[in-house]
Amino acid sequence: MTGAGRIDVHAHYLPDLYREALRDAGHDQPDGFPFLPEWSPEEHVALMDRVGIARSLLSVSSPGVLGDRDLARAVNEAGHRAVVDHPDRFGLLASLPLPDVDAAMAEIAHCVEHLSVDGFVLLTNFDGTYLGDPSLRPLFRELDRRRARVLLHPTSPPCWERTSFGRPRPMVEFLFDTSRAVVDLVLDGTIAAHPELELIVPHAGAALPVLADRVRAFSALLAPGIDVVRDLGRLHYDLAGQVLPRQLDAVLAITTIDHLHYGSDFPFTPEPVVAAAADGLDAVPDLADALRDNTERLFARPAGR
C-alpha cells in the first residue's frame, strides 16, 4: 500500500443534527443522490485505516448549510468536536452561511479564532448566486487577507430540472457547475486579484482541462487583462472521483503535479470505489508521495488570523 499516509482533502461528514436538518428541508436525496449516507467519526476513522488514509479534512457536501447561520454554527461545532476527539486523524474545512455575506464573515472569524479550522468549503453557487457575484467580493477579500485554504464543492445549478434529465446531478451537473464557477472566478479577475487565496478545485478540475483553451481564446474579447492559463495553473486540484485512466492526464495539461491532492469523497463514494480509486493512484509512479507532500505543504501553517 504505497499510499498509506494519504491526506484526504475531499472527505465529508454528516453529523446527526445535519442529517436531520437536511431531511426537514426536503433533502433526503440531496441533488438526486439516491440516499443520505450514514456517518460517524468512528466509522470514518475505520474506513481511513482500511484504505490507508492518515488524515481527513472534513467538510460538508452539497447542499451545504442552506444559508442558515445557526445550522452553519452547529455543523462547524460538530466538526470541531470530531477533530478534538480524533486530533491526529481529522481536520476541518468549515461551512459558511452564504449568500449572507455579513453572517459568513462572522462565521469565518469564529471558526479561525475559536475552532482553529484548517480552511473553508464553498459551494459553486448559493441558490443561484455564483462566487463571482459582486456581492461576494468582501468575502474573497477576507479569505485572501487570511490566506485561507478553500475547497470548492459543486452543487446543483439553478436550472437542474431542465438539464439533469432526472438523473443524479453529481454525475454530470456537478462537473459543469464546478467548471462554470471557476471560469467565472478567473474571467472576473477574482483569482488574479487574490494571490494569497489557495483554492482547491474538486474532481481533477472537472471539465476545465478541456475548456481551458476555448476560455483563453474568448478572454481576449471578454477580459483582455486576464491570463487564463496562468490563473488555472496556480490553483489546486483534488483527485476525487474517477480520474483514471483519462482525467489525470487531462488535469496535468493545465497544472503541475505539485498542485494535486488526494480526495476520497467518502461517504458519498462507497468504500469499494474509494479503495479501487486509491489503488489506481498508487499504481502511478511517485504520485502517492507527491500528493501527500503537496497537501502537507499546503496545510502546514495555521489558519490565518
pLDDT score at 44: 98
Model confidence at 82: pLDDT above 50: yes
Burial of 117 (0-12, 13-18, 19+ CB in 10 A): buried
DSSP, res 98: T
Mean of all residue pLDDT scores within the chain: 96
How many whole angstroms separate alpha carbon 166 and alpha carbon 164? 5
pLDDT score at 252: 98
Q: Which of 185, 159, 183 is nearest to 172 (CA)?
A: 159
Identify the band that residue 59 occupies on the pLDDT scale cut at 50, 70 and 90: very high
- What percentage of the chain has pLDDT greater than the value 70? 97
24: its cell numbers: 426537514
pLDDT score at 302: 63
What is the residue-wise DSSP string for 16-74? HHHHHHHHHTT-SSGGG-SS-----HHHHHHHHHHHTEEEEEEE--TTTTTT-HHHHHH
Q: Which of 248, 232, 235 is nearest to 281 (CA)?
A: 248
pLDDT, average across residues 186-214:
98
Cβ contacts of residue 25 below 8 Å, gap of 6+?
A: 66
Count of residues making up the chain: 305
35: its cell numbers: 440516499
How many whole angstroms separate alpha carbon 255 and alpha carbon 239? 13
pLDDT score at 1: 43
Place of cell 493545465: 254
The tens digit of pLDDT for each residue in 247-288 reads: 999 999 999 999 999 999 999 999 999 999 999 999 999 999
Q: Are 198 and 149 in contact (CB under 8 A)?
A: yes
In the chain the domains, ranked by start, together with CATH numbers, are 6-298 (3.20.20.140)
Model confidence at 4: pLDDT above 80: no
pLDDT, average across residues 215-243:
97
How many whole angstroms separate alpha carbon 64 and alpha carbon 77? 15
pLDDT, average across residues 75-83:
98
- Across 71-101, b (16+ Cβ under 10 Å) vs e yields bbbbbbbbbbebbeebeebbbbbbbbbbbbb
The tens digit of pLDDT for each residue in 108-151 reads: 999 999 999 999 999 999 999 999 999 999 999 999 999 999 99
Model confidence at 85: pLDDT above 80: yes
Model confidence at 3: pLDDT above 70: no
pTM: 0.96
The tens digit of pLDDT for each residue in 12-54 reads: 999 999 999 999 999 999 999 999 999 999 999 999 999 999 9
pLDDT, average across residues 51-65:
98
Torsion of CA 41, 43, 46, 51, to 10 degrees: -100
Identify the band that residue 240 occupies on the pLDDT scale cut at 50, 70 and 90: very high
Cβ contacts of residue 227 below 8 Å, gap of 6+?
A: 192
CA distances from 142 to 17, 32, 76 (A): 29, 33, 19
Model confidence at 91: pLDDT above 60: yes
How many whole angstroms separate alpha carbon 180 and alpha carbon 131? 10
How many whole angstroms separate alpha carbon 3 and alpha carbon 280? 10
How many whole angstroms separate alpha carbon 82 and alpha carbon 92? 9
pLDDT score at 131: 97
Q: What is the 3-state secondary structure (H, E, C) of 208-263?
A: HHHHHHHHHHHHHHHCCCCCHHHHHHHCEEECCCCCCCCHHHHHCCCCCHHHEECC
